[in-house]
Amino acid sequence: QQQENRIYKKLQKTDSLKAKQFLEQNQAQYKKLEQGIQKLSKKGNTYIPSLDTLTSSLKFLQDNPELLKLKDNAGQLTGALDKVQGLQQQFNKAELVKKFLKEKKQTLGSQLQNLGLLKELKQLNKQVYYYQAQVNEYKEILKDHKKIERKAIELLSQTKLFKDFMQKNSQLASLFRLPGNNPTDPAALNASLAGLQTRAQVNNLLQQQLSAPGAMDQFRSNMQDAQSQITNLRNRIGNQVGNTGGTDIDMPEGFKPNSQKTKTFKDRIEYNTDFQSQRSNGYFPTTSDIGLSAGYKINDKSVIGIGASYKIGWGQNIQNIRITHQGIGLRSFVDWKIKGGFWLTGGYEQNYRNEFNNIAALKDLNAWQQSGLIGLSKQINLKSKIFKKTSVKLLWDFLSYQQVPRTQPVLFRVGYNF
């Protein structure tokens, strides 16, 4: 609506009549959407396997509190069920909005194209894409249950009482008249099977149709080819859509989506630690820098971040080992992916390189030195529960030549992302 209001103001300057028609038509569409959301009922839920299982499981526990001795926690169980059903309602609304947006795209496409506002149309199409991708991202999150939730479902699924309950009360069971929904009612069982072919009937039909020599072999070959083509098509669609978890998204022509936009702020933050050592040069002792930083993923190829480092001194040589607080540093950086695992890295740092024994010494601003860094890094993915990947950086400090005493111009750092 905000985007369309901006379009409306542009149209007012050129054609007030068309602007009025544009505004009235779009306001009517939004009013219709609001009415549709208000009338939305629990019937006709969007089928999401994870939510269906959770809802049915909670209803089961609510109806059978004695099974797990939950009589004292009935209020919490009801609250949990209300929250799950509330989330289901939000997804129902989201599906209604997605349908609305598809219709909106067609309407705006004809309106804005005739009015010469193709740039605004492209911007709207991007917003529609990211909304659909965001909804699918939330659906994918639901699949990642905690271990305790998976274990609870696993244990419940082993009980006959729970199996019977799921067969009768799950959303999937309500869509189809599954055999066994009412095993004590033969009429209901016959009604659920009415019109369905039996396995024997299907086999007889295949034998009649494939009675010619070699026909069965040809049939199997055709089936394998069909399955192969379906798999290839699914992979192609998946590559085009990305990791959005669905194939119902309309990709605007010539648009390269930013997969980070559908993630939460927390999921776009990556943490890094790195290490760097320098040998004694007669003025500075042998030192090691330990750095910590946090980077924000702008997109799949760009990261910006800030960090800090601590410099520990080891003494002048092996005969004179002495651990000292040799300095600290404040960092900022920008990483840009070039190709494969190679990244272009740049950064600006402020470093306090004097030995200090208390925090008050760090207040002397004249003692801080600037560093301007540029270089390359190579990232390697790790199969580790703690670290996601490691990086090796080779950096040039082009401001080192201004320092007195001069600091090391070439830096080598090894880092880990977690």
Residues 301-351: pLDDT tens digits? 999 999 999 989 887 777 777 788 888 999 999 999 998 889 999 999 999
Distances (CA, A) of 168 to 60, 362, 404: 11, 70, 80
* pLDDT (average), residues 39-58: 75
Q: What is the pLDDT of residue 331?
A: 95
Residue-wise pLDDT for 257-278, tens only, equals 888 888 888 889 999 999 988 8
- Is residue 348 within 8 Å of residue 332, measured between CB atoms? yes
∠ CA 89-90-93, rounded to 5°: 90
Does residue 241 register a pLDDT over 70? no
Q: Which residues pair with 185 in a beta bridge?
A: none
Is 107 in a helix, a strand, or coil?
A: helix
Q: How far apart are CA 131 and CA 136, in angstroms?
A: 9
Q: 2-6, 146-150, 270-274: which has the minimum mean pLDDT?
A: 146-150
Distances (CA, A) of 136 to 7, 129, 195, 213, 246: 29, 11, 36, 49, 6
Dihedral sign from CA coordinates of 227, 231, 232, 234: positive
Q: What is the pLDDT of residue 396?
A: 95
* pLDDT (average), residues 89-94: 87
Confidence band of 247 (pLDDT split at 50, 70, 90): very low
Confidence band of 73 (pLDDT split at 50, 70, 90): low
Distances (CA, A) of 244 to 46, 97, 107, 251: 17, 17, 25, 12
Q: What is the pLDDT of residue 164?
A: 76
Most trustworthy range by pLDDT among 3-12, 36-45, 168-177, 179-188: 3-12
Q: Which residues contact 309 (CB under 8 A, 6 or more apart)?
A: 289, 290, 291, 292, 328, 329, 330, 331, 351
Residue-wise pLDDT for 16-28, tens only, equals 888 888 888 888 8
Q: What is the pLDDT of residue 242?
A: 45
Q: What is the pLDDT of residue 42?
A: 57
∠ CA 108-110-116, rounded to 5°: 90
Helix (H) or strand (E) holding 335: strand 320-339
- Is residue 124 within 8 Å of residue 105, measured between CB atoms? yes
- Is residue 263 within 8 Å of residue 303, measured between CB atoms? no
Distances (CA, A) of 214 to 200, 201, 222: 22, 22, 12
Model pTM score: 0.54
